[in-house]
Structure 1
Amino acid sequence: MTRLLLFWLLFSSLAHAEPRTPRPIDAHLQPAVFALTMVMIHDVANPPAASRFYTYCLLGAHDIVARHQKKIPSPSRLIHDFPLVSLDTKTGYDYQVAALYCILETGRQLLPSGYMLEEEQKKLLESLLKEGYSQAVIDQSVLVAQTVTKRVLTYAVADNYRILSTKSRYRPLKGDGYWFPTPPGYIEAIEPNWRIIRPMMLDSCSQFKPAPPVVFSQDTSSAFFALTREVYAVGNNLTDEQRAIAAYWDCNPFAINTSGHMMIGFKKISPGGHWMNIASLASSQAKLPFEQAIMVQSLVAMTLMDSFISCWDEKYRSNRIRPETVINRYISPRWQPLLQTPPFPEYTSGHSVISTAAAEVLTYLMGENFAFTDNTEIIFDLPERSFTSFKQAAEEAAISRLYGGIHYRDAIVNGQTQGRIIGQFIRQRIKQAGVTPIH
């Protein structure tokens, strides 16, 4: 955490350093979204919840810029029952400032440790004053942001998130083939009822159910045991490159390392947070105007949220056992995967689903051959990786789960199919709403 804190302080100081000449407001967007990520890392936001937080934090900003740019379709044309806020009586504000502040204000009120964003808001307003915005315009822009934030939070309250805490405590199903908590933490199942969360663009959580998983079997000649042997064999013969790929896409919000009787927890970025940063990096690389950059990141966030809802629906329907549990029971009691097994059922692979879906949407928006260098993991001392396309990055994210020893191949392949169908559905939906490719 010390290294993470030092990086955050360095990043924050760079993001808000006084430039020699006024910089466009575009430069404030990436730090604002990154500030959300840092709070989520602090809070150990689980993967599905993180995608929800990103979505609502960007939704208001998307709504604001859509009112001022005809090429940006309103969220009301994309998602279910999103309420419009009347801003006709609001004057004297700058919509870009309002959109930017809305991201932070929504995060401040929505995230468990949202108070941490207050300092970021203060620094932003100080920077805007130095860049020539009048106090009156800033004040009016903040009022608009607060108005839209209030409506976004009212919309968020109705998505069933609050109901999750009223559900009975989850108990693992009895049976040899069902998921059971895994070492070293034996953490309880994460978000077993996530399927009840209201989707943004999908019609329902089960709209795109994947093919059923290979049936569990203890028979050493069975298809299931062949999948298990593959995980075991790959894990025992990893190349340096495969280890690097697995580590890069680990994205475990809370990994536990053990030393004797001591356990040490390490906080990391979530899978959705990784793809949000890719969307941010790509927007900056393409030098997208402020409005388009917000739209891109908002659409990616909504795609991630819907993908997690669909994936989690399947996870707790098939409730399949993890490779680590099977291998320890039937092959090698001391075997450990390279990555820590996440605390939820195995099928389908979440990273495979959400990465493939996000790549489909980003490819539609920014092109088939958008080459980029991803530096998301440098804060965790992992070197940047370069890709020739979003789809190549998604392919690597998916196969990383086999290298890491936490997924069977059919969960990866069928997860990619599930994500591709979701991504293509969202592509068609945003296309019908008037979102055209940017490239």
Structure 2
Amino acid sequence: MMKWITSWLLCCQLAYARPAAPAFTERIQPAVWAITMVMLHDVVNPPAASRYYAYCTAGAYAIVAAHNPGMPAAGSFIRSWPAFTVSAGKDAYDYQVAAVYCILETGRLMLPSGYMLEEQEEKLLQAFRKEKIPAAVISRSVAVAKEVAAQVVAWSKTDNYNKLSARLRYTPMKGEAYWYPTPPAYMEAVEPHWQTIRPMVIDSCNEFLPLPPVPFSKDSGSAFYMLSREVYDVTSRLSQEELLIASFWDCNPFAVSSAGHMMVGFKKITPGGHWMNIAGIAAQTAGLDFDQAVLLHMLTAVTEMDAFISCWDEKYRSNRIRPETYINRYIDIKWQPLLQTPPFPEYTSGHSVVSTATAAVLTYLLGERFAFTDNSEVMFEIPARSFDSFMQAAEEAAISRLYGGIHYRDAIENGQQQGMQIAEKIISKIKAVGVKPVSQNLTGL
């Protein structure tokens, strides 16, 4: 009798008037953005940022998939996915409350300054209370979120990330053809061993090797000299639109500006952070329901993580010299790129690989002609830009590296091809387990 009464009480608590779907859906992007802001504070580098996004959205997807029989288990397409367990029964908590809270809680546990997310967690709880969600339901949902987040963190500790600090300090290769730290800060190489991180979907870091880079040469008649000369010539006659494009897609988490003996650092979101925000914009533009929005964010993050692993594997294999170093040595000693040269080898272009891979997965989910306005850089006083498709945005992100003076054309174009191959692998795996384009469930797109 007591057991029946307890079950009846639980059903009554969960039978509250749930807010309209958009109210919950619109909480996902702010939660992810809160993660982004903490990473901005911590100056998390681009590959590491993609890893945090992947794990922070993974737990949310695990909670959603457990409640939605139409969502395939992530273990069917993510190779290392563990068996998450939840002690509470499905009828004892609100899975949407738990999923959103799990994004923040995972970030709180994983990020160096994760404690900064505690304020966001409290604000989220206050919002749930205002929506008249029963206190007991909120409490049990938070408990589930914390339970799953703890399991996500335990899973993350098996991907080799914790072993990176024990590796030998990276020393730049000797030779004229190879990357060397660039001014003004001459920063050390970023994540030279990132290829050892376990991928999410692709089989290995070197599954999609790009075409070989154009061979290094100092000969003024060589193909490599022509690549360098193109960077030099293009950057000397940029239009206002090209200048804006370069700035919009800069995505350098820590640029250093020097004036005399003083250096000032400027923080921005990473390429992954930019595309995670695009995913949030797309989810709201399309009017996705909560479950679809979580799926969209998780697949965006997982794609980014694998793209960075693949790209960084090539970067430290080819170890190619940056345009700034080559042009200063062999063309014009006073030349400077529009954007600050990132502290890692040149080939392939990370933004080209990641943007193409992510845009292709988003295109599969939302369609080829999905128009949206990207305001990700407004906080940095860069105007929003509108696009007719995700691939159009990715094309612009890729060519921005030439305008910025930090990549050669072959690194951009071969990087785009590399990114497309990664996306095709991910799309084929999610299609095989029944992840259909969410655009099939929408109208007016």
TM-score band, normalised by shorter chain? over 0.9
- Counterpart of 1:224 in structure 2 is 224
Q: Please give the alpha-carbon distance, in whole angstroms, between the structure 2 residues aligned to 1:37 and 1:197.
A: 21
**Kept after mapping to 1: 8 A contact 2:42/2:112:** yes
Q: Please give the alpha-carbon distance, in whole angstroms, between the structure 2 residues aligned to 1:21 and 1:342.
A: 44
- Counterpart of 2:6 in structure 1 is none
Name the SS for the 1:67 alignment partner: helix
- Counterpart of 1:71 in structure 2 is 70
Name the SS for the 1:265 alignment partner: strand
User: Which stretch of structure 1 is more off in the superposition, 53-62 or 75-84?
Assistant: 75-84
- Counterpart of 1:7 in structure 2 is none
- Counterpart of 1:305 in structure 2 is 305
In structure 1, the gaps of 5 or more residues are 1-19
Q: Please give the alpha-carbon distance, in whole angstroms, between the structure 1 residues aligned to 2:69 and 2:141.
A: 20
TM-score (norm. length: structure 2): 0.93
Q: CA deviation at 1:85?
A: 2.1
- Counterpart of 1:174 in structure 2 is 174
Q: CA deviation at 1:76?
A: 1.2
What are the residue-to-residue correspondences of 1:234-253 with 2, within 5 Å? Answer: 234-253=234-253
**Kept after mapping to 2: 8 A contact 1:322/1:345:** yes
- Alpha-carbon spacing, 1:260–1:61, altered in 2? closer, same or farther (3 Å): same
- Which digits, 9 at most, give the CA deviation of each residue in 1:150-181, with x for residues without a partner? 11111100000000000111000000000000
**Kept after mapping to 1: 8 A contact 2:80/2:200:** no
**Kept after mapping to 1: 8 A contact 2:374/2:385:** yes
Q: CA deviation at 1:89?
A: 4.2
Q: Please give the alpha-carbon distance, in whole angstroms, between the structure 1 residues aligned to 2:210 and 2:396.
A: 21
What are the residue-to-residue correspondences of 1:9-408 with 2, within 5 Å? Answer: 24-87=23-86, 89-90=88-89, 91-408=91-408
Structure 2 counterpart of 1:348, one-letter code: T
**Kept after mapping to 2: 8 A contact 1:72/1:292:** no
Structure 2 counterpart of 1:422, one-letter code: I
Provide the aligned C-alpha RMSD in A. Answer: 1.3
Q: CA deviation at 1:147?
A: 1.1
- Which digits, 9 at most, give the CA deviation of each residue in 1:25-79, with x for residues without a partner? 2221111111001001001110000000000000000000001112222211121
- Counterpart of 1:9 in structure 2 is none
Q: Based on CA coordinates, which of the two structures has the bigger radius of gyration?
A: 2
Q: CA deviation at 1:339?
A: 0.3
- Counterpart of 2:10 in structure 1 is none
- Which digits, 9 at most, give the CA deviation of each residue in 1:228-270, with x for residues without a partner? 0000000111111110000000000001111111110000000
- Which digits, 9 at most, give the CA deviation of each residue in 1:261-320, with x for residues without a partner? 111000000000000000000001101001110100100000000000000000000000
- Alpha-carbon spacing, 1:47–1:385, altered in 2? closer, same or farther (3 Å): same
Name the SS for the 1:241 alignment partner: helix
Q: Please give the alpha-carbon distance, in whole angstroms, between the structure 2 residues aligned to 1:372 and 1:362.
A: 12
Name the SS for the 1:258 alignment partner: strand
User: Which stretch of structure 1 is more off in the superposition, 25-34 or 231-240?
Assistant: 25-34
Identity rate, percent: 61
Q: Please give the alpha-carbon distance, in whole angstroms, between the structure 1 residues aligned to 2:346 and 2:386.
A: 29
- Alpha-carbon spacing, 1:100–1:22, altered in 2? closer, same or farther (3 Å): closer
- Alpha-carbon spacing, 1:152–1:226, altered in 2? closer, same or farther (3 Å): same
- Counterpart of 1:6 in structure 2 is none
Name the SS for the 2:265 alignment partner: strand
Q: CA deviation at 1:372?
A: 0.5
**Kept after mapping to 2: 8 A contact 1:23/1:131:** no
Name the SS for the 1:263 alignment partner: strand
Q: CA deviation at 1:87?
A: 2.7
Structure 1 counterpart of 2:432, one-letter code: Q
Q: Please give the alpha-carbon distance, in whole angstroms, between the structure 2 residues aligned to 1:22 and 1:62.
A: 17
Q: Please give the alpha-carbon distance, in whole angstroms, between the structure 1 residues aligned to 2:413 and 2:181.
A: 24
Q: CA deviation at 1:24?
A: 2.4
Structure 2 counterpart of 1:76, one-letter code: G
- Counterpart of 2:5 in structure 1 is none
- Counterpart of 1:14 in structure 2 is none
Q: Please give the alpha-carbon distance, in whole angstroms, between the structure 1 residues aligned to 2:231 and 2:146.
A: 50
Q: CA deviation at 1:23?
A: 7.0
Q: Please give the alpha-carbon distance, in whole angstroms, between the structure 2 residues aligned to 1:430 and 1:251.
A: 29
Name the SS for the 2:26 alignment partner: helix
In structure 2, the gaps of 5 or more residues are 1-18, 440-445
Structure 2 counterpart of 1:374, one-letter code: D
Q: CA deviation at 1:22?
A: 11
Q: Please give the alpha-carbon distance, in whole angstroms, between the structure 2 residues aligned to 1:23 and 1:332.
A: 55
TM-score (norm. length: structure 1): 0.94
